[in-house]
Amino acid sequence: MKNIRRPAADHGTDPINPLGYAVSMRDKSVMQMVETALKQKQVLLAYQPIMHAQAPEKVAFYEALLRLTDETGRIIPAKDFIREIEATELGRIMDCIALEKGLRTLARQPDLRLSINMSARSIGYPRWMRTLKQGLQRNVTVAERLILEITESSAMTVPELVISFMSEIQAKGVSFALDDFGAGYTSFSYLRDFYFDIIKIDGQFIRGIAQNPDNQVLTSALKAIADQFDMLTVAEFVENAEDAAFLAKMGIDCLQGYYFAAPTVRPVWERSQEDERRA
């Protein structure tokens, strides 16, 4: 019988992928940070104004953005943890906390209009749905002042569920914003059915737009789509006066970015109340 040569056994010579290991450890570290913040109730909202493009001194509405604080008191923005937790139970809990805090703010500030971020995955999460329905029932003015903001990538995970949910909640007076529009996730066939009230044009098309002909063409195309579906347009990441003026001239409805204000955990209405108490 002919001897068959077998390949030599690999005695542990296949090393751990360094990049995969680093990503795994980073994700684990982020999860631990979020879990600690939740246990110690170190979760808060920062508020950033969205301005009227034709009257940039006037606020159209505010966006509520999740923040954590660590043991040193450092404020950690959502971009540093949201991707790692978005598809997990922690992501659902963070959505619940953001909604709970946002609804309380709306109840306390009767003149405020506020957008609150959510994941499409939270639609089927009982605590989140219960929080939303109770908040709308508790204060009859909240619905018309609440905007629920969903990213393109999240909406496209379960588009049929999002469409059904939006139809139900819009009937109660709540508005919906599609965040990161143009980032490449949304099928135009679905966009026709979503009926978003607001489109937020992804910041990659907005930065430096006054000097970038490619971004000018792309943003104009995205605006034309929004206009066709009767959606309000918001340009994200507006960082200088030249871009703000260009976008206003283009006909974009609202502007958001550091040129106007950074997100703050001490919004103007809280500062006003503190000043009144000191007086």
| CATH number where 86 lies | 3.20.20.450
On whether the CB atoms of residues 120 and 153 are closer than 8 A, the answer is no
Helix (H) or strand (E) holding 259: none
Cα–Cα–Cα angle for 235, 201, 263, rounded to 5 degrees: 55
> pLDDT at position 157, please?
87
* Residue range of the domain that includes 192: 41-264
Residue 4 has pLDDT above 70, yes or no: no
Q: Is residue 9 part of a domain?
A: no
| pLDDT above 90 coverage of the chain, percent | 67
**Domain count of the fold of the chain:** 1
Residue 168 lies in a domain: yes
The confidence score (pLDDT) of residue 21 equals 45
Per-residue pLDDT at 18: 53
Does the residue 7 lie in any domain? no
- Are 255 and 238 in contact by the 8 Å Cβ rule? The answer is yes
Evaluate whether residue 23 is within a structural domain. no
- Over residues 197-235, the pLDDT tens digits come to 999 999 999 999 999 999 999 999 999 999 999 999 999
Q: Is residue 258 part of a domain?
A: yes
Within a domain: 225: yes
- How far from chain centre, in Å, is Cα 52? 19
End-to-end CA distance of the chain: 101
* Beta carbons within 8 Å of 226's beta carbon, 6+ residues apart: 181, 199, 232, 233
**Has residue 143 been placed in a domain?**
yes
* Residue bearing the bigger pLDDT, 5 or 90: 90
Look up the pTM and report it.
0.87
- Specify if 47 maps to a domain: yes
- Write the burial class of residue 14 (CB in 10 Å: 0-12 exposed, 13-18 middle, 19+ buried): exposed
